[in-house]
Structure 1
């Protein structure tokens, strides 16, 4: 017990000394009273609590109605140049005959129409030619200088069959290109085309005039094709032919017009020609010429139930 009291008293004396005796003594002795070091307060960064994320309400965007687009009109196509309309066809207009070109007619000069050689044609040599001609078993040589005349009687492939004269019995061959044969042929063909076209024009004019005359002709009887009156109208058969005209052909009253080369039979018309009353019938037919077959027209003039004559409608000349 006693030691405990001693300890308590020692503690008390020590405390009083430290509190009341030590401060003046330490001040005198320049002692610094031990003051516990106060640590500065550390600032603690306070992280603000995250704001609650508010989900935005979905915004419904109403798209404006598209404005109607103007209808795109197709670009106008460029106007094509207007082709002038052909003038109206005159039913009474003359239509010229059409002739085949020379190359077609001659098959490029490989086959000249044989009718062209019916009468020997005279041509001019372009080159000197020593021509050996055969006369029976004998052979004769004749020289033709460039510019000399020679007669052509026919064709043999690319060569011409020639003779020294029109009636010479001697024959030889010469290349067509060594003569002016093509020029002679073309000139003759052009002349035939001109003549034929002119005849066709006259025939057309005659036909129009005949139609006009028929309007003023007296009313004719139609008793048949045979009687003895000039008013008897020729009768057309069921096949389109006229027995009276066919009989005239078969009797040899005309040789160029034959039933098998007639292409069309016209209608009968009553006309006054050279003071005579006739029934006339025009026929179109093919005739053989030196350039091949061409279509032409003839007219049968009927009087008193008989074909009096056949004439070309273009020229009025009698048909052989």
Structure 2
């Protein structure tokens, strides 16, 4: 029994020494405690199932497209003849000898919409009619008097002050008043007079044109080298300066033989021509100039008729009247 107890005690001492005494001694002596190796579990190999065979692709039915039948071509109808375009008549050739009428500005432009009536129109008093009853204050110097005018009464226009007319009871009355232009028939009176002047000016221009054509024809048919008759000679031909003027004509203007034509208002000088007029041979020179009228400046043509080395007369080529 004792040996068994001794064996049990020896095992107990050995176990306690190994668990509690040996570790610190082994650390001091750098011994390694034997630890039994633990085998790591081997990874399980999972065998993948074999892939399933892919199903064979379904064969789609082949659709055979039938070729489209060609559509029947429409029958071509014969083209209908297109209607001929009317021919535009060609303008007649321009006649170099045709008369060209002068162009006049319209009334509104001439009067600047009635704000500035040409002053020449008031050189002589013009009678107008009042359109409604008016009381007009007439004044002469410091004296003032009110006059009543019934619709339809006549007054005389002496001038313009803006939109108003300067009027008098008579052409020679020294009393002056003002009345609105639209309260009278002034615009109608002015327009009628302007139309009449346009007719006269156009007719004068036409006659002047005809005179020039006739003069050119006479010049063409005159004998070559013919001298001036009635005491004239070839020396009577007026001399033209380099600037286009004629000293003989300028001398006539300076001498006062014509007052309406001035060197400054001449627009063009014609060439000298030899003509027989009313049985008398002349050298003639036409000039175009601006003349002042009651409606402003208009272009006019006059002719200097030269005989025996001097200007015998100045006449309007249109009417043949003597130019003042």
Question: Given the two structures, how large is their TM-score scaled by the length of structure 1?
Answer: 0.72
Kept in 1: contact 2:227–2:234 (CA 8 A) = no
2:244 aligns with one of 240, 254, 268: 240
User: Which residue is 1:127 aligned to?
Assistant: 132
Structure 1 residue matching 2:236: 3-state secondary structure: coil
Aligned to 1:318: 322
1:235, distance to aligned residue in structure 2 (A): 0.9
Correspondence for 1:13? none
Which SS does the other structure have where 2:205 is aligned?
Answer: helix
Structure ID, larger Rg: 1
State the shift of 1:142 in Å: 1.1
Partner of 1:295: 299
Q: Does the alignment pair 1:214 with 2:197?
A: no
Task: Give CA-to-partner distance per residue, 1:24-46, whole Å, 9 cap, x none.
Answer: xxxxxxxxxxxxxxxxxxxxxxx
1:97 to 99, 102, 115: 102
For 1:90 and 1:231, the matched residues in 2 are separated by: 36
Contact 2:133 2:149 in 1 (8 A): yes
In 2, the alpha carbon distance for the partners of 1:158 and 1:96 equals 33
Q: How does 1:44-123 map to 2 (within 5 A)?
A: 83-123=88-128
| CA distance in structure 1 between the partners assigned to 2:238 and 2:303 by the alignment | 13
Deviation at 1:217, TM superposition (A): 2.4
Question: Contact conserved, 1:220 with 1:232, CA < 8 A, in 2?
Answer: no
Offset at residue 222 of structure 1 (A)? 9.4
Question: Which residue number in structure 2 is paired with residue 277 of structure 1?
Answer: 281
Determine which of 258, 263, 270 is the counterpart of 1:254: 258
Please give the root-mean-square deviation of Cα atoms over the aligned residues, in Å: 2.1
**CA deviation string 1:77-107 (max 9, x = no partner):** x999765432111000000000000000000
For structure 2, the 5+ residue unaligned runs are: 1-82
Give the aligned partner of residue 158 of structure 2.
Answer: 153
Q: Secondary structure at the match of 1:194?
A: helix
Corresponding residue number in structure 2 for 1:306: 310
Return the offset for 1:208.
0.5
Contact 1:230–1:279 (8 Å) recurs in 2:
no
Query: Is the Cα–Cα contact under 8 Å of residues 230 and 304 in structure 1 kept in the other structure?
Result: no
SS at match of 2:313: strand
Quick one: distance in 2 between partners of 1:304 and 1:218? 20
Deviation at 1:190, TM superposition (A): 0.3
Of the candidates 174, 192, 197, which is equivalent to residue 187 of structure 1?
A: 192
- Number of matched pairs: 240
**Alignment partner, residue 26 of structure 1:** none
Unaligned runs of 5+ in 1: 1-77
Is 1:230–1:278's contact at 8 Å kept on the other side of the alignment? no
